[in-house]
């Protein structure tokens, strides 16, 4: 008898637990913010008793380094504004995580995306910020990067630049005083370095964005036109990759980096690539200014500067590539839009926010008034280069989803010897037409 | 009235039915929630053109499927690579696991220890396994090459076309052999020792006892192991993601990885789900054929 009662109880427990599970789920479908707060409520019950209930918002971004000062922004927000931000940093596979959240109806109140294509993809989930007073703090031309039609879908967080980065010490050791501005000069420099026993290139070609997305961009932009114009020409067939002005130069350049690079480029990820440069295993790599914290961590005495990619044999074509890179958006379904905007405001314009963005991460903010100037080797180098030449935009901001990864695989296959030049051009064209037709 | 209800309640048939329903219902609900409903939704999405985020879904009928069979060369190349891996994996994992099981199935402290250490990798998560081997194939092999001077170790094990298949194989074998070994050991342990003794008395040598007695007894284990190995091999994803990212240039991309890229990188969710349905049917056909064949073998023995 006892056994029977016990078994019935067990069945009941199993059953009830099942329905408890369902119950929670129903909640989350209707109201995205409620489940999250109910989870955290229990933890912070004691704290919240003292003050009145804080406004809770969720925030997702792809920041990945040194988050101590980030946390200070959070404390301050809670202290001064009574806003509690639930932050999630996703360094890997960010878009997948964001898309999953959106599909599940749990759109974070604040989310970070890239500029360009990303603006269009997430436009319907972005709150139109045109009429918010915070907009006045930002530079007008930077805001233009965040518009879809008349709608202001987000706020520009930072501008970033990428180009070749070289180790000044190794260049000095090899007796190179003039930085190369044409492809020929670049090859000469490589020969000189190699003669002195210094490997010229560190190639993180496991990453499709290193081998393809970032490196081909100046070669595309040097052909003329804005990213959007080039994209629409590629879509309607006016322009193709194999007939592009500097496409062959790009492949020559890739050949050069592989020939004069460290072994196993296709197995090297971005971190290894950066460390190799910092510790002096190689003299040049292609990367953006955001890598400075990693470089300094690997070698505190590292001394580096930018070297615009030589795209042809005309020195005027060698320019750095800069663009608004991250955009912060407020969800159109957010129940606490004001709190969300306030959180962005704190993050980008308060002193504690700038400790993280400008001082720690070396961001170049896009505000009309920036009290703290970033002070990094690479940021200074960008400013120096831009003082006497203009920059290229990033061609990839107008690319369809998946083209960076897919195109990168084609170039990787080219490096592995699986494809020849004519195949590379044809396959890039086909991939573009396939992905842009969606 | 009350008497009637009492009568029904004490009726054995009714009781067993209630018991049956009670026991089956929780599992059924869970299954429905986590597998059957998503599957039906999958079919629905596969008829749509959808980027995975937008509220707008466009109905395109069977166009997604037509595209898979007419113009998606990459999908079939990646299917071919998956099959190539599958054949190597199924054969190797079963032979190695059976070999180890035959060595270790008798009880002793040493054997217990060996079993545990071979089984251990199976408990580690796939991503971690991938990272461990990424280290071995990278810096690990490099230092071996430096010490021994053997050229093979200095090659790009995660980026050369003729090597990636083997590095993926080695990694997945290292992880899975333990699991298959346990199944074979279970089969060997449950074998009546009287039969083997009888064979020995009749003068059978080691090879004969293995092929004529042990192997037939292991037929049920073999069915399970083949089934597990085939489904694992077809679903290969995490190790490729960590070790090679499907490279060099898409060469080592598996079917599941291809579907993942389609849905999440190319933002073509509808097309991706259509591919996953095709994949489902491929898995279904292969595993059903295998189960039918091996079951027949079991009956014969």
Give the pLDDT of residue B239. Answer: 92
Question: Does residue B108 sit at the A interface (CB-CB below 8 Å)?
Answer: no
Residues of A in contact with B246 (CB under 8 A): 409
Residue of B nearest to A402 (CA): B266
Question: Does residue A14 sit at the B interface (CB-CB below 8 Å)?
Answer: yes
Residues of A in contact with B265 (CB under 8 A): 95, 401-402, 405-406
Give the pLDDT of residue B182. Answer: 94
Q: How far does B220 lie from chain A, in Å, by closest CA?
A: 33
Mean pLDDT rounded to a whole number for chain A: 85
Residue A56 has pLDDT above 80, yes or no: yes
User: At a CB cut-off of 8 Å and minimum separation 6, what does A211 contact?
Assistant: A203, A204, A205, A254, A408, A411, A412, A415
Residues of A in contact with B261 (CB under 8 A): 402, 405-406
Give me the residue spans of the domains in chain A: 160-322+381-436
Rounded mean pLDDT, A53-68: 82
Q: What's the CA gap between A353 and A343, in Å, rounded?
A: 10
Q: For helices A2-30 and A32-50, give the axis angle rounded to 10 degrees.
A: 100
Give the pLDDT of residue A49. Answer: 45
Residues of B in contact with A124 (CB under 8 A): 54-55
pLDDT tens digits for B119-175? 999 999 988 999 999 999 988 999 999 999 888 888 889 888 889 999 999 999 999
pLDDT tens digits for A374-423? 778 888 888 888 887 888 999 988 898 889 999 999 999 999 999 999 99
The band of B97, judged by pLDDT with boundaries at 50, 70 and 90, is very high
Pairing verdict, β A304-307 and A282-288: unpaired
**What percentage of chain A carries pLDDT values higher than 70?**
87
Mean pLDDT rounded to a whole number for chain B: 89
The band of A23, judged by pLDDT with boundaries at 50, 70 and 90, is very low
Rounded mean pLDDT, A256-270: 92
Give the pLDDT of residue A2. Answer: 61
Question: Does residue A428 sit at the B interface (CB-CB below 8 Å)?
Answer: no
pLDDT tens digits for B259-280? 999 988 888 899 999 999 999 9
Q: How far does B262 lie from chain A, in Å, by closest CA?
A: 8
Residue of A nearest to B50 (CA): A438
Give the pLDDT of residue A34. Answer: 38
Residues of B in contact with A417 (CB under 8 A): 161
Give the pLDDT of residue A192. Answer: 93
- Give me the domains of chain B, ranges plus CATH numbers: 1-33 (no CATH), 64-300 (1.10.3720.10)
In total, the C-beta contacts within 8 angstroms joining chain A to chain B are 99
CA atoms within 13 A on the CB side of A16: 6
Question: Does residue B52 sit at the A interface (CB-CB below 8 Å)?
Answer: yes
Contacts 24+ apart (CB under 8 A), A336-340: A336/A33, A336/A55, A336/A56, A336/A57, A336/A109, A337/A109, A337/A127, A339/A55, A339/A57, A339/A81, A339/A83, A339/A109, A340/A57, A340/A109, A340/A110
pLDDT tens digits for B178-200? 999 999 999 988 888 888 888 88
Give the pLDDT of residue A65. Answer: 65
Beta bridge partners of A160: A323
The CATH-assigned architecture of domain A160-322+381-436 is 3-Layer(aba) Sandwich (3.40)
Torsion sign across C-alpha atoms B98, B103, B107, B111: negative
Question: Does residue A96 sit at the B interface (CB-CB below 8 Å)?
Answer: yes
Residue of A276, A273, A299, A297 whose CA lies nearest to A286: A273
The band of A29, judged by pLDDT with boundaries at 50, 70 and 90, is very low
The band of B27, judged by pLDDT with boundaries at 50, 70 and 90, is very high
pLDDT tens digits for A266-325? 989 899 999 999 999 999 999 998 888 889 999 999 999 999 999 999 998 999 999 998
Are the beta carbons of B249 and A419 separated by less than 8 Å?
yes
Residues of B in contact with A419 (CB under 8 A): 249
Are the beta carbons of B247 and A405 separated by less than 8 Å?
no
Residue A46 has pLDDT above 70, yes or no: no
Angle, CA A116 vertex, CA A115 and CA A120 arms, to 5° = 105
Residues of A in contact with B238 (CB under 8 A): none
Residue A372 has pLDDT above 80, yes or no: no
Structure-derived torsion over alpha carbons of residues A141, A142, A144, A147, reported in degrees to the nearest 10: -170
Residue of B nearest to A212 (CA): B249
Nearest to B26 among A15, A263, A405 (CB): A15
Residues of A in contact with B245 (CB under 8 A): 206
Are the beta carbons of A438 and B268 separated by less than 8 Å?
yes
Give the pLDDT of residue B186. Answer: 92
Q: How far does B50 lie from chain A, in Å, by closest CA?
A: 9
Q: Give the ipTM of the model, two decimals please.
A: 0.80
């Amino acid at each position: 008898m006892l056994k029977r009662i016990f078994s019935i109880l067990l069945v009941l427990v199993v059953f009830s637990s099942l329905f408890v599970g369902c119950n929670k789920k129903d909640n989350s479908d209707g109201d995205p913010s409620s489940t999250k707060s109910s989870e955290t409520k229990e933890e912070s019950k004691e704290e919240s008793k003292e003050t009145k209930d804080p406004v809770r918002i969720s925030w997702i971004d792809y920041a990945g380094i040194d988050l101590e000062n980030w946390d200070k922004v959070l404390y301050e927000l809670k202290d001064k504004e009574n806003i509690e931000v639930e932050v999630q940093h996703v360094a890997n596979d960010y878009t997948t995580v964001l898309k999953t959240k959106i599909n599940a109806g749990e759109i974070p109140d604040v989310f970070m995306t890239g500029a360009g294509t990303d603006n269009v993809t997430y436009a319907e989930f972005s709150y139109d910020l045109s009429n918010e007073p915070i907009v006045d703090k930002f530079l007008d031309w930077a805001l233009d990067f965040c518009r879809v039609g008349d709608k202001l879908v987000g706020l520009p967080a930072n501008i970033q630049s990428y180009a070749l980065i070289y180790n000044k010490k190794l260049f000095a050791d090899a007796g190179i005083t003039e930085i190369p501005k044409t492809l020929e000069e670049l090859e000469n420099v490589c020969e000189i370095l190699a003669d002195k026993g210094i490997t010229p290139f560190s190639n993180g070609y496991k990453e499709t964005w290193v081998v393809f997305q970032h490196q081909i961009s100046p070669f595309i932009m040097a052909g003329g036109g804005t990213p959007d114009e080039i994209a629409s020409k590629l879509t309607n067939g006016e322009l193709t990759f194999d007939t592009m002005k500097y496409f062959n130069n790009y492949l020559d350049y890739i050949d050069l980096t592989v020939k004069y690079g460290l072994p196993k480029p296709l197995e090297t990820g971005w971190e290894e690539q950066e460390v190799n440069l910092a510790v002096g295993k190689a003299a040049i790599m292609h990367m953006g200014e955001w890598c400075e914290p990693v470089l300094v961590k690997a070698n505190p005495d590292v001394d580096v500067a930018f070297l615009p990619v030589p795209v042809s044999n005309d020195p005027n074509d060698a320019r750095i590539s800069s663009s608004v890179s991250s955009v912060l958006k407020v969800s159109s379904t957010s129940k606490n839009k004001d709190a969300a905007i306030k959180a962005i405001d704190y993050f980008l314009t308060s002193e504690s926010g700038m400790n993280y963005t400008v001082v720690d991460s070396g961001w170049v903010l896009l505000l009309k008034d920036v009290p703290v100037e970033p002070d990094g080797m690479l940021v200074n180098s960008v400013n120096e280069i831009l003082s006497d030449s203009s920059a290229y935009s990033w061609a990839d901001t107008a690319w369809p989803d998946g083209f960076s990864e897919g195109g990168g695989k084609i170039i990787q296959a080219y490096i592995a010897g699986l494809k020849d030049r004519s195949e590379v051009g044809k396959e890039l064209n086909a991939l573009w037409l396939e992905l842009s037709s969606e | 009235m009350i008497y009637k209800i009492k009568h029904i309640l004490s009726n054995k048939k009714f009781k067993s039915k209630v018991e049956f329903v009670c026991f089956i219902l929780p599992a059924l609900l869970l299954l429905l929630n986590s597998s059957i409903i998503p599957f039906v939704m999958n079919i629905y999405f596969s008829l749509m053109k959808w980027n995975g985020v937008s509220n707008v879904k466009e109905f395109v009928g069977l166009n997604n499927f037509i595209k898979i069979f007419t113009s998606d060369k990459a999908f079939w190349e990646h299917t071919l690579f998956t099959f190539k891996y599958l054949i190597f994996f199924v054969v190797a994992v079963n032979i190695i696991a059976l070999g180890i099981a035959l060595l270790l199935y008798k009880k002793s402290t040493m054997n217990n220890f060996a079993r545990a250490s071979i089984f251990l990798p199976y408990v580690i998560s796939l991503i971690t396994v991938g990272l461990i081997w990424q280290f071995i194939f990278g810096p690990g092999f490099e230092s071996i090459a430096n010490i021994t001077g053997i050229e093979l170790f200095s090659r790009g094990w995660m980026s050369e076309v003729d090597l990636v298949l083997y590095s993926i194989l080695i990694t997945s074998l290292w992880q899975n052999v333990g699991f298959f070994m346990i199944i074979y050991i279970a089969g060997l342990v449950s074998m009546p020792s009287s039969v083997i003794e009888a064979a020995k008395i009749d003068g059978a040598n080691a090879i004969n006892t293995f092929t004529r007695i042990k192997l037939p007894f292991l037929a049920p284990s073999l069915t399970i192991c083949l089934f597990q190995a085939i489904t694992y091999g077809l679903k290969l994803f995490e190790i490729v993601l960590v070790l090679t990212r499907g490279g060099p240039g898409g060469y080592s991309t598996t079917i599941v990885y291809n579907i993942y890229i389609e849905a999440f990188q190319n933002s073509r969710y509808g097309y991706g789900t259509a591919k996953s349905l095709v994949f489902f049917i491929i898995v279904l056909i292969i595993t059903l054929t295998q189960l039918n064949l091996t079951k027949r073998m079991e009956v014969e023995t």
